[in-house]
Amino acid sequence: MLLIRDVDSILTLDAGRRILERHSVLIDEGKILRVGDAATLDRDHLDTVRNAGNVIEGAGCVVLPAWVNTHVHTVEHLSRGLIPDDLATFDWASRYATPFCASLTEDEAYISARLACLEMIANGTGTFVDCNVLASLGHLDAVAQAVEESGMRAVLGRGVTDILPPAKQTMPDALKAAVWHPSTEAALAEVDALLSRGTERAKGRIRLWASIYGLMFFTSDALFRGIRELADRHGAPVAFHIASSREEAALSESRTGGWPIGHLDRLDVLREDMLLTHCTLVTDEEVSRLADRGTKVAYCPGAALRLAKGTTRVGKIPEMLDAGVTVSLGADGVSSSGTFDPLRLAYLAAGLFKDSRMDPTMVPAETALEMITIEGAKAVLAEDSLGSIEEGKRADLTLYDTGGPEWAPGHDVVRTLVYSVDGRSVRTVVVDGVVIHDNGHSTRFDERDVIDAAREAGARIASRLGLDLRARWPLRAKGETSNSRWLEDSRGIRGLGG
Ligand SMILES: [Zn+2]
């Protein structure tokens, strides 16, 4: 048993969006057993829990449902800081991100995923979606191993493709083989093999979905249809990237006569059990289709900004919200976005459309907070068990220490969270009733070991691929006198072309 007692404020995110002051949460066998005022729960349970459980004092804390981050690439984590920030989506992926991620060994995928989990937990995240594991099922097993050790909850899947665009055809054969299947059947067979091994691991904390990498560049209509059929056969939901960029919209126009979401609807693959990432380039008509079909969206504001996707120019997130589409938030990869703090994503979601529409009523702070809690839970089809603090739900909670200056004076806790707070004040994270982060540190990982292994592996991979940092500022090592290491003429990954 675990009692989180006498909390300053519990943001329940329940149907009434109640904020409970001086209340406690009693947890047993991974579930929230009771939520009630502190005095009552003390009277009924404190002695029992002190004798045979764990008591966490909640005074000076705000408690929320652990964040749900609905789009992540854990195998990208070792590329942090490597990729220049002057590339749009297609060049960014073709020249850097895809070759980098495809080149990882299974052990390096494990090291990368451990780092990603450590960072996500430190920012208060309980659940994430990574349906983009490149390379092989062995790599996916390595990521799952890291998730299992972390204590987190995750939705995992393979990011298969069946079209290799010309820009990627210059990749070495081994890397090509890792990110591309020579036929639709081969791509589907690999996902089929994954799901045939079962759609749950780690006692249900890990779920396997039918996924493809997506985007019109990399996916034939046969693969869009095939993954839908495969998902229905296994009773698994579907996830992939779509409608990500201007380049993809243009390709879709030339291939189908319209933009991607409308095309997917004509292929009759949009359903309620589908989570689509980005959805930046969508028409009003397509927003209606998403709403009609109940299809969920993982919006990645950080990646939209860094990769110049046009979210503030053409994005339809306010229209999706008005139409009743489930819009959740994703960090995307560490090299396409950079931040793995859901509060930073919520801040972007709340702010971007206020500014771009010059209308401060766009995406209130409360809506942004829902996107990383209850709407995130809906996006992973787990609203019955996650996303709010209610009796009977799984015990996934995050405690923030409100002692720091960014919390004071804290008139409204929601606005304070979304506009001022970040992961530095995360004190404790509980997933499935287990404390996986406490007093600001992981209880599951040797943090130094995870970070040191990541630094060593990141350097090794960059050197193995001949990666060029293309730093714009001169870097001088100790004793060096010239600017010889300033690589101003470099062109991404050497030998891969640009
Ligand atoms: Zn992505």
pLDDT in tens, 315-328: 999 999 999 999 99
What is the whole-number distance in angstroms between the Cα of residue 301 and the centre of ligand 1? Answer: 11
User: For position 108, what pLDDT does the model report?
Assistant: 97
What is the whole-number distance in angstroms between the Cα of residue 367 and the centre of ligand 1? Answer: 23
Short-list 168, 187, 175, CA closest to 100: 175
State the chain's mean pLDDT as an integer.
Answer: 93
What is the whole-number distance in angstroms between the Cα of residue 213 and the centre of ligand 1? Answer: 8
What is the whole-number distance in angstroms between the Cα of residue 405 and the centre of ligand 1? Answer: 34
**Around Cβ 41, how many Cβ atoms within 10 Å?**
22
If one compares 475 and 231, the residue with the highest pLDDT of the two is: 231
Report which residue type is found at 450.
V
Give percent of the chain with pLDDT exceeding 70: 96
If one compares 329 and 175, the residue with the highest pLDDT of the two is: 329
User: For position 344, what pLDDT does the model report?
Assistant: 98
CB 298 within 8 Å of CB 277: yes
Tens digits of residue pLDDT in 475-485: 777 776 554 44
Task: Calculate mean pLDDT across residues 414-435.
Answer: 98
What is the whole-number distance in angstroms between the Cα of residue 217 and the centre of ligand 1? Answer: 14
Task: Calculate mean pLDDT across residues 453-462.
Answer: 93
Task: Calculate mean pLDDT across residues 219-246.
Answer: 97
CA 84 vs. chain centroid, Å, equals 21
What is the whole-number distance in angstroms between the Cα of residue 423 and the centre of ligand 1? Answer: 22
What is the whole-number distance in angstroms between the Cα of residue 378 and the centre of ligand 1? Answer: 19
For residue 386, what are the CA distances in angstroms to 7, 120, 381, 382?
20, 17, 9, 6
Two tokens at 461?
């991979």
CB 140 within 8 Å of CB 156: yes
What is the whole-number distance in angstroms between the Cα of residue 440 and the centre of ligand 1? Answer: 28
User: How far apart are the C-alpha atoms of 262 and 12, rounded to whole Å?
Assistant: 37
Tens digits of residue pLDDT in 349-405: 999 999 999 999 999 999 999 999 999 999 999 999 999 999 999 999 999 999 999
Tens digits of residue pLDDT in 270-282: 999 999 999 999 9
User: How far apart are the C-alpha atoms of 438 and 444, rounded to whole Å?
Assistant: 10
Residues around the ion ligand 1 (C-beta < 5 A) = 332
What is the whole-number distance in angstroms between the Cα of residue 333 and the centre of ligand 1? Answer: 6
What is the whole-number distance in angstroms between the Cα of residue 410 and the centre of ligand 1? Answer: 35
What is the whole-number distance in angstroms between the Cα of residue 71 and the centre of ligand 1? Answer: 6
Task: Calculate mean pLDDT across residues 66-93.
Answer: 91
Q: What is the DSSP string of 217-248?
A: TT--HHHHHHHHHHHHHHT--EEEEES--HHH
What is the whole-number distance in angstroms between the Cα of residue 266 and the centre of ligand 1? Answer: 24
Whether a cis peptide bond, with omega within 30° of 0, leads into 474 is no
All domains of the chain in start order, with CATH: 2-65+392-442 (2.30.40.10), 67-379 (3.20.20.140), 468-498 (no CATH)
Residues 6+ apart with CB under 8 A from 472: 488
If one compares 91 and 55, the residue with the highest pLDDT of the two is: 55
User: How far apart are the C-alpha atoms of 375 and 402, rounded to whole Å?
Assistant: 25
* Residue 124 confidence (pLDDT) above 50: yes
Residues 6+ apart with CB under 8 A from 181: 160, 161, 162, 187, 190
What is the whole-number distance in angstroms between the Cα of residue 103 and the centre of ligand 1? Answer: 17
What is the whole-number distance in angstroms between the Cα of residue 24 and the centre of ligand 1? Answer: 38
**Around Cβ 58, how many Cβ atoms within 10 Å?**
24
Tokens 């560049």 correspond to 217
Model confidence at 21, pLDDT cuts 50, 70, 90, reads very high
Give percent of the chain with pLDDT exceeding 90: 82
What is the whole-number distance in angstroms between the Cα of residue 385 and the centre of ligand 1? Answer: 25
**Around Cβ 490, how many Cβ atoms within 10 Å?**
15
What is the whole-number distance in angstroms between the Cα of residue 40 and the centre of ligand 1? Answer: 46
What is the whole-number distance in angstroms between the Cα of residue 3 and the centre of ligand 1? Answer: 37
What is the whole-number distance in angstroms between the Cα of residue 47 and the centre of ligand 1? Answer: 48
User: For position 480, what pLDDT does the model report?
Assistant: 66
What is the whole-number distance in angstroms between the Cα of residue 212 and the centre of ligand 1? Answer: 11
What is the whole-number distance in angstroms between the Cα of residue 336 and the centre of ligand 1? Answer: 8
Count of alpha carbons within 13 Å of 258, Cβ hemisphere only?
13
Q: Environment class of residue 480 by beta-carbon count within 10 Å: exposed (0-12), middle (13-18) or buried (19+)? A: exposed
What is the whole-number distance in angstroms between the Cα of residue 133 and the centre of ligand 1? Answer: 10
What is the whole-number distance in angstroms between the Cα of residue 394 and the centre of ligand 1? Answer: 27
Which pTM was predicted? 0.94
Strands (E), 443-482: none
Short-list 442, 445, 343, 339, CA closest to 80: 339
Two tokens at 253?
């126009």
CB 216 within 8 Å of CB 162: no
CB 279 within 8 Å of CB 71: no
Two tokens at 383?
């609203």
What is the whole-number distance in angstroms between the Cα of residue 431 and the centre of ligand 1? Answer: 25
Query: Which strands, in side-by-side order, build the sheet including 67-69?
Result: 67-69, 125-133, 153-158, 206-208, 200-201
